[in-house]
Amino acid sequence: MIKTQISEIKTLLSTPKNIVIVPHINPDGDAMGSTLGLYNYLKLYNHNTTVIAPNDYPDFLKWLPGDDTVLKFETQQEESTTKINKADLIFTLDFNALHRAGHLMADVLELSNTTKIMIDHHQQPDDYATYTYSDVTMSSTCEMVYNFIEMLGDDAKIDSKIATCLYVGIMTDTGSFRFPATTARTHQVIGNLIQKGANNSEIHNNIYDTNSYSRLQLLGRAMQNLKVIPELRTAYISLTQAELDQFNYKKGDTEGFVNYALSLKGIIFAAMFTENTKDNIIKISLRSKGNFSVNELSRSHFNGGGHTNAAGGRSAESMENTINKFISILQQYKNELSITQNRP
């Protein structure tokens, strides 16, 4: 983000405004951490700020400072639409195209002519915002919100609430500081956040050690369903709606399951297929190691996108047809996936 843009934004923020902050649909730790981190920062300047999530998110994220003020567009459409229409400024965080707010909310956002600021690290950002801070090399949108506050000259203002929110997203998007986008700078930011009051041990506990018994049983089932194609260094997991129901599935319960498939020795590409009969889709989560781009594969075949090593997508076909399609698609990527190539 260039200096003139920052100074324009600084001017915008110098008097109290009506501000709306939006994360992507099915918000994750980085989406909620970045929006609530920014929310707690803007509160310091007495802006009338509201985070509006397109829909609900997992319980393990519902303790972040400011969480009790979040509106959910899906269930609070009228109130949310009024807020968006009255906004002087809309921040869109952790997504690269308006449809990622879900079609209902995207329509309302599209109709609004107000100033928009995008902060995001996903690939191929759309050009809808007045100010775009996009950097696909960043570990997380939370790290970018830290940079944004620093660019505004306000790093000294980061308090324990802001620090806690930003810590959450950096931690979840880096797989606890292990994915390749984790840099020395990421660790420096994390160090600063701890210094400013983020309780790292408590945050890890709140996010990762609040499993229900049924979630662990569902993980057991997912692991039983794990299939491996060793010659293509690929592994995949499926969970049907009946299996989710059997283990009392709640939003967020399958978060991270796909990483177990990727943890198999020698595997560089992992997928998880989760049936959702309500939306009539198979939700697809893709992860990879090294140069194999799941963003490209998802964009080309599964109506999605994301990052090189983590992407999402969907299929309108049955579970069986989706998996068969997936297996046949793998043949197109044989050169990249087969054992002689691209060893991470």
Write out the residues near Mn ion by the rule CB under 5 A: 30, 94, 141, 173
- What CA–CA distances, in Å, run from 120 to 16, 124, 265, 281? 24, 10, 32, 26
Select from 29, 37, 65, 312 the one that contacts ligand 5GP (CB under 6 A).
312
Q: Which does 315 bind (CB under 5 to 8 A by kind): Mn ion, ligand 5GP, none?
A: none
Helix (H, G, I), strand (E, B) or coil at 183: coil
338 close to 233: Cβ distance less than 8 angstroms: yes
Q: Which does 96 bind (CB under 5 to 8 A by kind): Mn ion, ligand 5GP, none?
A: ligand 5GP
Q: Which does 311 bind (CB under 5 to 8 A by kind): ligand 5GP, Mn ion, none?
A: ligand 5GP
Q: Report, in Å, the least distance between residue 238 CB and ligand 5GP.
A: 14
Q: Report, in Å, the least distance between residue 207 CB and ligand 5GP.
A: 14
The single-letter code of the amino acid at 9 is: I
Cβ nearer to ligand 5GP, comparing 30 with 336: 30
- Establish if 23 lies at the interface with ligand 5GP (CB under 6 A): no
Count of residues interacting with ligand 5GP (CB under 6 A)? 13
Q: Report, in Å, the least distance between residue 208 CB and Mn ion.
A: 17
Residue 11 buriedness (CB in 10 A; 0-12 / 13-18 / 19+) = exposed
- Establish if 306 lies at the interface with ligand 5GP (CB under 6 A): yes
Cβ nearer to Mn ion, comparing 173 with 255: 173
Select from 20, 106, 232, 310 the one that contacts ligand 5GP (CB under 6 A).
310
Q: Report, in Å, the least distance between residue 11 CB and ligand 5GP.
A: 31
Helix (H) or strand (E) holding 109: helix 103-111
Of 300, 312, 332, 181, nearest to 258 (Cα)?
312
DSSP notation for 212-275: -HHHHHHHHHHHHT-EEEGGGTEEEEEE-HHHHHHTT--TTTTTTHHHHHHTSTT--EEEEEEE
254 close to 236: Cβ distance less than 8 angstroms: no
Distance CA 291, CA 70 (A): 37
- Establish if 125 lies at the interface with ligand 5GP (CB under 6 A): no
- Establish if 305 lies at the interface with ligand 5GP (CB under 6 A): yes
Distance CA 19, CA 144 (A): 19
Cβ nearer to ligand 5GP, comparing 87 with 222: 222
- Establish if 24 lies at the interface with ligand 5GP (CB under 6 A): yes
Of 22, 102, 79, 26, nearest to 57 (Cα)?
26
Residues of this chain that bind ligand 5GP (CB under 6 A): 24, 96, 100, 122, 285, 304-307, 310-313
